[in-house]
């Protein structure tokens, strides 16, 4: 439980309330800094539009992994691996404030409980809709399943392309792959191989 708190909830609780007005003023300054005329027709409503988009793109700070995974079902009749493949997501790189997008495959070996299918994509979105780096997002998803759900083993594989590399700098679109294996998925070779095979690694 402490791991999820430090990785997710302490960050969210330390944030100030979303301030759309302050953000809009910042967008106005940005437009001026790049030499644009923020008063022209095409840009007059841009600051407000941008802040509405940012409110949605950072909505994960308002999500609690414990609430997402609160509704559980007994797993006495099922002790095999549960895997949800190719969960699409969009996130925002905290280094350049540019998007990265991809798919996550999440699997777990149940402890005493399982969760409904929709909860796994919701958990992914909870961590994706924040300022992120892919490595941390991958870890946070895995640790939430282990610590909140009490899964015996967890595997998370994330593939994503990053606009901060494709649109600037090296300008080389490429796929980044990160993984996190915990518990039985890490320690048991058979479970590890099964998950990675299902995930297409």
The residues assigned a catalytic role are 93-96, 134, 162, 164
The encoded tokens of residue 175 equal 């796929």
CA pair distance 68, 63, nearest whole angstrom: 8
Residue 155 near residue 108 (C-beta atoms within 8 A): yes
Burial of 34 (0-12, 13-18, 19+ CB in 10 A): exposed
Residue 115 near residue 69 (C-beta atoms within 8 A): yes
The encoded tokens of residue 36 equal 């644009």
Closest CA to 82 of 73, 91, 90: 73
CA pair distance 121, 114, nearest whole angstrom: 14
């Amino acid at each position: 439980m402490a791991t999820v708190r430090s990785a997710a909830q302490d960050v969210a609780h330390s944030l100030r309330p979303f301030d759309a007005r302050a953000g809009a003023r910042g967008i106005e300054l940005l437009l001026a800094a790049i030499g644009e005329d923020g008063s022209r027709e095409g840009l007059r409503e841009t600051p407000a539009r941008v802040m509405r988009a940012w409110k949605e793109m950072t909505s994960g700070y308002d999500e609690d992994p414990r609430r997402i995974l609160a509704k559980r079902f007994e797993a006495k009749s099922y002790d095999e691996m549960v895997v949800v493949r190719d969960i699409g997501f969009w996130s925002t790189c905290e280094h350049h404030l540019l998007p990265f997008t991809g798919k996550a495959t999440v699997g777990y070996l149940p402890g005493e409980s399982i969760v409904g299918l929709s909860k796994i994509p919701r958990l992914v979105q909870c961590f994706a809709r924040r300022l992120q780096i892919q490595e941390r997002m991958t870890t946070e998803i895995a640790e939430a399943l282990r610590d909140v759900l009490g899964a015996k083993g967890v595997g998370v594989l994330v593939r994503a392309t990053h606009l901060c590399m494709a649109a600037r700098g090296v300008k080389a679109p490429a796929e980044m792959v990160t993984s996190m294996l915990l518990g039985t998925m890490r320690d048991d070779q058979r479970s590890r191989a099964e998950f990675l095979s299902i995930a297409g690694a």
